[in-house]
A and B are shown apart, each in its own frame.
Chain A
Amino acid sequence: MIAAGAALVMVLVYAISVWLAPWSPKRGLGLVFGILASLIFVFEMAYPYRRSRARPFGTARRWLQLHVYLGALAFLAVLIHTGFHWPGGFMGWALLLLSAWTTLTGLVGVWLQKWLPVVMSEGLRVEALYERIPALVEHLVKEADALVANASEVLERFYLAEVRTRLAVVEPSWSYLLDVRAGRERALEPFRRMSSFVDPAEKEIVNDLMTIRMEKMDLDVHYSLQGVLRSWLVVHVPPAAVLMALLVVHILAWALY
């Protein structure tokens, strides 16, 4: 609410100012909004210090909220600074596009951070640390190998042909962003079919193999979605740093000329 109010005030200030006098990014309120956006960007770049340094804003959560809301306001300040006009050259376009990109990727990141953990906790039975997933997969393979060590030839052949290859490697997929249980029924179908062919004594082994396969699929989902949660920073942080570099050049040019 505070951020929305601030945004409204900024737009109102712009509207009244434009009504009263010509708008220029180099003078008056146009310059003020440019300076405001720059200062907010500098504050935004201090976000990595939220854990290891003093927290004047209370908690890391509060800092994150400020990071998100001020970031959005900074982009609005950039737009107001330009007078809602398209820029005319490389530097103008680069600054505007990088501001837009950084803000957009930041907001997408916020949405991912809120949505993916919920999706994973509601749709999956297994929880796992991203970094440990390859080791867990390896462990599952060993467990499955042990299960079929003394099984019949038919079951062993089935395991080697249709199960082990899918267990051996982590299989991330973008489709899990749409449905965390995607492909699950199709993956279980061979196990159900196999249950009707094996001895009743080996049916339990087939069920265990099926459980292991499910766990492996849960780990695949974790690997995919946690990977997205971590890698979105690649599209957010480097452009933000480049934006800061261009901002410095922009301010330098303004001061010189």
Chain B
Amino acid sequence: MPRKPTWGTPTRSEHHPPLRRKWQFLYPSAIAAAVVAVVLVGGYLVGARGTFSPGTVTGAHGSIDSSCEQCHTTGQGVSNVRCQRCHDPASGGRLAASAHVLFGSGDPRKAAAAPDLACATCHVEHKGRAASISAVPDIQCAKCHFGNLRRHPEFAVLRASTAEAPGMNFGHKKHIEDVMKEQGLTQAAQTCATCHTKSQPRRDFEPLSFDQHCASCHTKEGSVGTVDPVPLTDVVDLEGLKARGLTAAVAALKPEEFEVARGKIARPSLRHRDPWVIFNLAKLRAEGDPEAFAGERARVEARIASLERRLAAATPFAALDKGALQDRVSALQREREGAAARLAAQAAAGDASTGVARLQEIETGLRAADAAAADEVSKLRAVAAEKGAGPAPLPTADFEARRQEVLALLEAVEAADPALKPRTADLRRRIVALVPGENAADLLTRVRDQRQASLDRLKDEIKLRDQGIAPPRAAPLEAERRELQRALTDARTQLAALAAVATTAALTDEERQKKRETATIVAAACTKCHILKAGAFEPVRAARPVLARARFIHEPHLIQADCAKCHPGTEASKVSKDLNFTGIQSCRECHKPFQAKQDCRECHLFHPKAVP
């Protein structure tokens, strides 16, 4: 009889082995998980904090990768003050969103109203060593601006149809024609490289200079021209310059370059940047237009004061002990309280100064006679009484004129009573610090907020010091200190030059006019190219970028197109103000999808420079 197979599942018997335990995998898994958690947390407690991190930080921050407290505050995330410790050591506030708005719009009130923006919103960390946290995506820009290059407005300089004069009388037409004739060229575009020579890679063109680009045509035996005889009573001769301690500056000048006869001095030959001309022009300006001169000196003094303050603030935290930090805190607290008190005093007098009280009187008076007119006045009063409305800001031109006026007044006050100098110096600094478009209340608010921001940073630093967290290394601070130091040296040199020609002599209007006429004669040879305005040469901005809020490098573009593609009509241009530039459309021709990049950061910087 054949064997019968055992169909189906065998029935259970007493010998049946036990079934798999219900949570066979769960307990070992839970133990494994617990071990992993303990290892990670234990590692964190003994200093291996990288395991807690969602990713390594970018290469530049590599040295603080495992020192979370350098950037993070427990329970509060990343605060801006931690970024500023290294990136804005001088407390200039240039990294704040308000600085960006001011940089872009030039409107201090708009800047003051700009919402605070955390650095970490745009600069996202923990994306790996090779990640660039400065590569901010366009979508961040699009929060406030247009979304893409197609919607980019025409450049402001073209919209306004005016460019700032580059301080020179210059026409491309004549120069191009001369170069073509001299070099036997047939096309205007071939002449560009004669003056616009390439610089280091990514550095654009070499700056234009007289010696390199102009001297070959504009000098004859080393002379750029002559100066007709001018009275020796108005100018200083060579010996006079030496007597004033300018020996080094005039060392190159020779006596035969001067002709003195009948109480007058003339120059048969003149150098470029001739120290005699520069000194005497400044002297004549100080005498002929003392108000403008005083304004200029005040500006330089205020700049020096501001730079000195920032330089002191830019001292590396590592160089300050806790006592020094506390001293700074006390000083800043006093300044902040002073600004707040002045602001409160202004606010208390605000109704009177804004005319609200006066408008109230008018409204009350009108109400019985003309209700409609009273309603209109009521509306005006409501606008004026709005919080922070203050007096309407002056237009920029009026603002500068008024500032000049006040500075000259301060100069007169100081001359009359030298004992008032500390007070006038303080007032002068404040007046120069005002930005067109903001009033005193805006300025005080800005000062108060800036001091508060500095205080927050210092307090944070003291807290970190108490926790035993080291201050950032000095290197990131040094670059900014060097930049501030350089600007300060320039400003001091400028002030010394102004001080050398300063005068206290009070001249009549007639005498002043005479001085101005003499200045015109002294500068006659220079004004062939340079522009003389109010007794001083306009600053030369030849071949400087005209795009104020963008950076542009010619080099990579010249590979793609010749000069005439973006600068048509240059060969016919007769004045230096001509832009000869096609505008945003020429950018769009190449910067489009699947071709050249069109990211905002390709051309624009968000943060203004440390030292403007």
**How far is the CB of B485 from the nearest CB of chain A, in Å?**
37
**How far is the CB of B78 from the nearest CB of chain A, in Å?**
8
A92 touches B55 (CB 8 A): yes
B2 touches A208 (CB 8 A): yes
B33 touches A89 (CB 8 A): no
Q: B17 — which chain A residues lie within 8 A by C-beta?
A: 131-132, 134-135
Q: Taking the complex as formed, is B612 at the interface, i.e. its CB lies under 8 A from any CB of chain A?
A: no
Q: Taking the complex as formed, is B51 at the interface, i.e. its CB lies under 8 A from any CB of chain A?
A: yes
B10 touches A208 (CB 8 A): no
Which of B22, B30, B40 has the most chain A CB atoms closer than 10 A to its own CB?
Answer: B40
Contact of A241 among B29, B40, B140 (CB under 8 A): B29
Instruction: Please judge, given known A-B contacts A89-B50, A127-B8, A245-B36, whether A238 and B2 are in contact too, CB under 8 Å.
Output: no
Q: A190 — which chain B residues lie within 8 A by C-beta?
A: none
Q: B9 — which chain A residues lie within 8 A by C-beta?
A: 127-129
Number of A-B contacts (CB under 8 A): 132
Q: Which residue of B lies closest to A233 (CB)?
A: B25
Q: Which residue of A lies closest to B69 (CB)?
A: A257
Which of B23, B37, B143 has the most chain A CB atoms closer than 10 A to its own CB?
Answer: B37
**How far is the CB of A81 from the nearest CB of chain B, in Å?**
11
B19 touches A249 (CB 8 A): no
Instruction: Please judge, given known A-B contacts A89-B54, A91-B53, A253-B54, whether A136 and B30 are in contact too, CB under 8 Å.
Output: no
Residues 1-41 of chain B, each 1 if its beta carbon lies under 8 Å from chain A, else 0: 01101111110000111111011011011101110110011
A22 touches B140 (CB 8 A): yes
Chain A interface size, as a band, is 35 or more
Instruction: Please judge, given known A-B contacts A21-B139, A127-B9, A211-B5, whether A89 and B53 are in contact too, CB under 8 Å.
Output: yes
B26 touches A237 (CB 8 A): yes
B3 touches A237 (CB 8 A): no
Residues 138-178 of chain B, each 1 if its beta carbon lies under 8 Å from chain A, else 0: 01100100000000000000000000000000000000000
Q: Taking the complex as formed, is A48 at the interface, i.e. its CB lies under 8 A from any CB of chain B?
A: yes
B128 touches A257 (CB 8 A): no
Instruction: Please judge, given known A-B contacts A48-B23, A87-B55, whether A245 and B37 are in contact too, CB under 8 Å.
Output: yes
Tell me the dominant secondary structure on chain A's binding face.
Answer: helix
Contact of A88 among B6, B56, B78 (CB under 8 A): B56
Contact of B54 among A21, A88, A234, A245 (CB under 8 A): A88
Number of contacting residues on B, CB 8 A?
Answer: 52
**How far is the CB of A75 from the nearest CB of chain B, in Å?**
18
| A92-133, CB < 8 A from B | 92, 125-132
B19 touches A131 (CB 8 A): yes
A128 touches B2 (CB 8 A): no
Cα distance A130–B122 when bound, in Å? 59
Q: Taking the complex as formed, is A204 at the interface, i.e. its CB lies under 8 A from any CB of chain B?
A: yes
Cα distance A87–B17 when bound, in Å? 48
Cα distance A246–B37 when bound, in Å? 7
| A233-257, CB < 8 A from B | 233-234, 237-238, 240-242, 244-246, 248-250, 252-253, 255-257
B16 touches A22 (CB 8 A): no
Given A90-B53, A127-B9, 13 more pairs with CB closer than 8 A:
A24-B124, A88-B126, A89-B54, A90-B50, A90-B51, A91-B52, A233-B25, A245-B33, A245-B34, A246-B37, A253-B52, A257-B74, A257-B78
Please give the residue numbers on chain B whose beta carbons come within 8 Å of chain A beta carbons, in ascending order: 2-3, 5-10, 15-20, 22-23, 25-26, 28-30, 32-34, 36-37, 40-41, 50-56, 68, 72, 74-75, 77-78, 121-122, 124, 126-128, 131, 137, 139-140, 143
